[in-house]
Structure 1
Amino acid sequence: MSESLLPAVAPADGVADEFRAMMRGFPTGVAVVTAFDETGSPWGMTCSSICSVTLDPPTLLLCARAGSPTLAAMRGRGAFAVNLLHERARDTAALFASGDPGRFDRVQWGTGGAGPHLKVDAHAIADCVIARPPVEAGDHVVVFGAIDQVALVTGEPPLLYGHRQYRAWSGAA
């Protein structure tokens, strides 16, 4: 059972919509988080809720929708990969955000240490193991990943997301 970060307090009317609008204006990098389930099937989701936690030991966190099948696969195996997308990978970001059940048939991927690696679409990939029990936070779950290894795949600029649009880093200036 995971602990909860949030108190059971209802926000004022309209605050959730205002918060969503506020966060749309906060551009961030884009990743596809991947994992294998207990049968070896690949799962993946687009995620922009990722941040570093500490360098000693190297740890990141990500937030996933509580009902996500990718989250279930991550929990089942205790491991996942974070594929940081480069600016030419907009279609891959949209595909993995869509929930299309055939998404792995439509991209090139290889078996990584902790989850599928999207080497054609990622500028960097981190293999992670779940470092502590996931923490419930409303309708999402916070997962802490201890970094097992990192592959710096290309020197291409990262893909950004904000105002419900994908943007190239090189075009952001």
Structure 2
Amino acid sequence: MSNFPTGVTVITSALEDGEPQGLTCSSMTSVTLSPPTLLVCLDTNSVTMAVAARRGAFAVNLLHARAAGTARLFATRNVDRFAQVRWQRTQHSGLPWLVDDALAVAECELVDVQVVGTHAVLFGQVEAITLFDEAPLLYGRRTFASWPREEE
């Protein structure tokens, strides 16, 4: 699968009174437009997975082309990831938003979880989205890339 290019996201969640959790995820896709629903695949042993399940919500931070460093950071087991990036809680649901690194953030209510082997497929109904005009970060063949924006 490393030969297949994909967008790069950081999935985040936090309990209302807790520390933010997050991890890099390239297994994200749109499921349906009505209702708007995304799916993400997370390791069942990850803290982010446990917090998202307990909270019943998660955010999908779609990373822009200049955020490869953040993608690498959130792919590590570094416990102080959020101390190394600028983030804030979203207005709609108070989920962690990577302010300087996301071209979009989708706030999702967890509507279903299906466990398949070592991973859980989380289905999230999009409750709010914030979008910026940025080129997306891509990952394929173990390399980060992007494509230029179309000329108008």
**Which bin holds the TM-score, normalised by the shorter protein?**
over 0.9
Counterpart in the other structure of 1:148? 127
Counterpart in the other structure of 1:85? 63
After the TM superposition, which segments of 4 or more aligned residues of structure 1 sit over 6 Å from their partners? Answer: none
Structure number with higher helix proportion: 1
Taking the aligned partners of 2:81 and 2:110, their CA distance within structure 1 comes to: 24
Gaps of 5+ in 2: none
Give the length in aligned residue pairs. Answer: 147
Among 99, 104, 129, the residue aligned to 1:124: 104
1:44-93 Cα shifts (integer Å, max 9, x gaps): 00000000000110001010011010000000100010000000000000
Matched position secondary structure for 1:24:
coil
Deviation at residue 166 of structure 1 after TM alignment: 1.1
Among 48, 59, 71, the residue aligned to 2:26: 48
1:116-145 Cα shifts (integer Å, max 9, x gaps): 00121000000001012x111111000000
Deviation at residue 167 of structure 1 after TM alignment: 1.1
Summarize the Cα distance change of 1:148–1:114 in structure 2 as closer, same or farther, 3 Å threshold.
farther
Paired residue type of 1:28: T
Deviation at residue 158 of structure 1 after TM alignment: 0.2
Counterpart in the other structure of 2:95? 115
Deviation at residue 38 of structure 1 after TM alignment: 6.0
Counterpart in the other structure of 2:74? 96
Q: How does 1:10-89 map to 2 (within 5 A)?
A: 23-37=1-15, 39-89=17-67
Deviation at residue 169 of structure 1 after TM alignment: 2.4
Q: Is the 8 A contact 1:130 1:144 kept in 2?
A: yes
Gaps of 5+ in 1: 1-22
Q: Provide the identity percentage.
A: 48
Matched position secondary structure for 1:131:
strand
- Cα RMSD of the aligned pairs, angstroms, is 1.3
1:4-35 Cα shifts (integer Å, max 9, x gaps): xxxxxxxxxxxxxxxxxxx0110000000000
Paired residue type of 1:119: V
Taking the aligned partners of 1:40 and 1:68, their CA distance within structure 2 comes to: 16
Deviation at residue 39 of structure 1 after TM alignment: 4.1
Paired residue type of 1:137: V
Structure number with higher strand proportion: 2
Taking the aligned partners of 1:38 and 1:110, their CA distance within structure 2 comes to: 13
